[in-house]
Amino acid sequence: MKMTTTLMALAIVLLATGCASSMKQSTYQTGAVQHKMRVTLATVLDVREVDIEVKASGAGAAAGTAAGAVMAGNNSGTNRGIVSGIAGALVGGIAGTLADKAANAKKGQEIVYRIDGTNETQALVQEVDDDPIRVGDRVRLMEGSFSARLVKLGKTVMQ
């Protein structure tokens, strides 16, 4: 019985923390499809690796709290069971939050580029793609209503 409860709790935590979405140059969210974007050509001047910290969704904390309470509270009906259930919920919630953040953390690039035909220099942060952008690359800046991305010229975006 305890083993089954433990496995169920672990499954809940794993499912809750595996829902990250991509911010790569070759990935579009459903809401961005068939929306007009402005395209500007540019040259990359500098690139720096950065970490993209995604806000925890809360699902990991909720799942961890529930799992911790279930696993630790198996002695229900006693004062000891109540205390261990509360302690398990706290520890599970913390572990779930950490797992949620770790599952959603992404490696990114801060890309500084100069717009063609101008002296205008801009920067954009995006997730590192399978083919990272490098200094000297020719890129196109794709600007939609709510987002922007840099894509290497000649790279097929939609596959």
Three-state DSSP class for 93? helix
Q: pLDDT value at position 40?
A: 96
For the chain, which ranges sit under pLDDT 70? 1-34, 56-89, 93, 96-104, 155-159
- pLDDT tens per residue, range 128-137: 988 899 999 9
Helix (H, G, I), strand (E, B) or coil at 7: helix
* DSSP at 121: E
Structural contact between residues 23 and 106, judged by C-beta atoms closer than 8 angstroms: yes
Identify whether the C-beta of residue 114 lies closer than 8 Å to the C-beta of residue 45.
yes
Q: Are 151 and 140 in contact (CB under 8 A)?
A: yes
Tell me the pTM: 0.55
The secondary element (H helix, E strand) that includes residue 52 is strand 38-52
DSSP state of 126: E
